[in-house]
């Protein structure tokens, strides 16, 4: 049986059943609202179809028990905010799912308020959907009157909901996207839809997670620029090949292009990719060891927590681009067991765990470095990079330093330490190859690490 007021088919209905099964938020909205509004289930399906389908349309005829759904959908589909949002959600699984959750909650909140203002209306709705035609007629009339009197609030709420949907998906891309320009959507699609929905809904209601996503997005843009600059600086001409990249053409081809007698033939060869150009070869990235981030989570780092995790995700995306394992070692008075992300890939549960993680307490440098040495010794590669981030200081023993220097030399380890919020000398000088001093993660000096 089709309980839709839109032109949905069996595929649409099956797909929405799958979305409902994946979405804890939609299940919650239906559970809370169906006692007051019995046709809420079909309404949720229509909201989804309205956002996802290429060309959703109201059916010419509607069963009496779905008249209120039709009135609501007609109002929603006439909203300018709805048409703007559809440009974003149409045929987009995650955007339409997040949009359905936001829109459905907005609509049910508005309905709840109308019921509170008119308790008789709830009785009419219940009786009408049970088959009392007179009650349904009265309920539909009451809904239309409420939309005329108070529909402006619904319009404003739908506009806000649409803005939140764009923000929700943008945050997902910020977290799961890679470094390459335009790769965010493609990287996000690699995450199972159930996990996308789960994390998207978690982001929507978690201020801290949103802040981490915003910082991750901001820092990934900076990391991308740093990596691009590094690639240009380390790219060498290694011969001649065929192609049509103007910036790499041989001078002789440029001369032929400028001469009237040879211009047409040169343009033809350009269109066919048959011009002589320099062959470029970058420095080899294969065979490099893991990137290990030792991240201070002592009590004094609490104000930097969301920024530090955005920084972690940006650094992790570099590992993903370079196909290197990434190890995170949070530490305070001692170090946690290393968290290993193969080739920099992070799952939804990993992300949730990362957002909630904070140790607090004092500072110990030897413990995280000992954990880092285990990660490196278990790796099949040399040339590991350690990024050591702290705002404090701690003693390191001579015995430890002797072992550390031997391991560094044997496995070609490089240590870049970021010293936050202090200009004082620190024990990090004893085990680091390079030290960057910065006031916070917002300091441009920190971004040197993205050239790793």
Instruction: Return the domain boundaries, the chain.
Output: 10-205, 236-281, 291-451
Mean pLDDT, all residues of the chain = 89
Q: CA 324, CA 303: separation in Å to the nearest integer?
A: 30
Q: Which residue has the higher pLDDT, 224 or 114?
A: 114
Instruction: Supply the angle between the helices 93-117 and 80-89 in degrees, to the nearest 10.
Output: 150
Q: CA 344, CA 97: separation in Å to the nearest integer?
A: 27
CA–centroid distance for 241 within its chain: 39
pLDDT (0 to 100) of residue 285: 43
Q: CA 415, CA 394: separation in Å to the nearest integer?
A: 17
Res. 36: pLDDT tops 70: yes
Q: CA 55, CA 42: separation in Å to the nearest integer?
A: 19
Res. 237: pLDDT tops 80: no
Res. 413: pLDDT tops 70: yes
> Do 437 and 446 touch, CB atoms closer than 8 A?
no
Q: CA 451, CA 179: separation in Å to the nearest integer?
A: 13
Instruction: Supply the angle between the helices 40-52 and 67-77 in degrees, to the nearest 10.
Output: 30
Q: Label residue 180 by pLDDT band (50, 70, 90).
A: low
Write out pLDDT tens, residues 242-267. 888 776 788 888 888 888 888 888 88
Strand ranges in 161-315 using DSSP code E only, listed in sequence order:
236-243, 275-281, 291-296
Q: Which residue has the higher pLDDT, 427 or 381?
A: 427
C-alpha torsion sign, points 248, 254, 257, 262: negative
Res. 236: pLDDT tops 60: no
Name the CATH superfamily housing domain 291-451.
von Willebrand factor, type A domain (3.40.50.410)
Length of the chain: 452
pLDDT (0 to 100) of residue 287: 45
- pLDDT (mean) for 184-192: 83
Phi/psi region, residue 254 (left: phi>0; alpha: psi -120 to 50; beta: rest), is: alpha
> Do 89 and 52 touch, CB atoms closer than 8 A?
yes
pLDDT (0 to 100) of residue 286: 39
């Amino acid at each position: 049986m089709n309980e839709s007021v839109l032109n949905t088919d069996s595929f649409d209905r099956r797909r929405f059943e799958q979305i409902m099964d994946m979405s804890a938020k939609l299940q919650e909205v239906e559970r809370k609202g169906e006692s007051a509004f019995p046709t809420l289930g079909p309404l949720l399906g229509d909201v989804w179809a309205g956002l996802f389908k290429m060309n959703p349309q109201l059916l010419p005829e509607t069963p009496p028990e779905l008249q209120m759904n039709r009135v609501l959908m007609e109002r929603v589909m006439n909203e300018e905010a709805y048409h703007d949002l559809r440009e974003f959600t149409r045929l987009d699984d995650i955007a339409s799912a997040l949009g359905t959750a936001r829109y459905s909650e907005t609509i049910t909140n508005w309905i709840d308020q109308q019921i509170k203002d008119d308790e008789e209306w709830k009785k009419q709705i219940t009786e009408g959907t049970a088959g009392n035609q007179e009650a349904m007629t009265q309920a539909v009339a009451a809904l239309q009157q409420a939309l005329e009197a108070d529909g402006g609030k619904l319009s404003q709420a739908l506009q806000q909901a649409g803005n939140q949907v764009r923000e929700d998906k943008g945050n997902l891309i910020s977290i799961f996207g890679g470094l390459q320009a335009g790769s965010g959507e493609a990287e996000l699609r690699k995450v199972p839809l159930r996990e996308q929905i789960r994390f998207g809904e978690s982001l929507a209601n978690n201020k801290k997670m949103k802040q981490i996503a915003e910082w991750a997005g901001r820092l990934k843009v900076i990391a991308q620029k740093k990596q691009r600059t590094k690639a240009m600086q380390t790219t060498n001409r290694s011969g001649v090949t065929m192609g049509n990249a103007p910036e790499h053409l041989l001078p002789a081809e440029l001369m032929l292009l400028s001469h009237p007698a040879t211009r047409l033939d040169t343009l033809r060869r350009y269109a066919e990719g048959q011009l002589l150009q320099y062959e470029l070869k970058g420095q080899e990235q294969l065979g490099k060891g893991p990137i290990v981030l030792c991240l201070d989570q002592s009590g004094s780092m609490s104000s930097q927590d969301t920024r530090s995790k955005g920084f972690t995700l940006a650094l992790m995306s570099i590992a993903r681009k370079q196909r290197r394992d990434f190890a995170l070692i949070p530490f305070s008075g001692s170090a946690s067991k290393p968290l290993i992300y193969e080739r920099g890939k992070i799952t939804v549960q990993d992300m949730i765990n990362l957002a909630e993680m904070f140790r607090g307490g004092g500072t110990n440098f030897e413990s995280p470095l000992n954990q880092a040495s285990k990660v490196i010794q278990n790796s099949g590669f040399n040339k590991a990079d350690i990024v050591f981030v702290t705002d404090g200081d701690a003693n390191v023993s001579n015995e430890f330093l002797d072992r550390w220097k031997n391991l560094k030399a044997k496995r070609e380890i490089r240590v870049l330490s970021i010293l936050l919020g202090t200009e004082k000398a620190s024990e990090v000088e004893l085990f680091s190859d390079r030290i960057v001093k910065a006031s916070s993660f917002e300091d441009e000096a920190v971004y040197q690490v993205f050239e790793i």
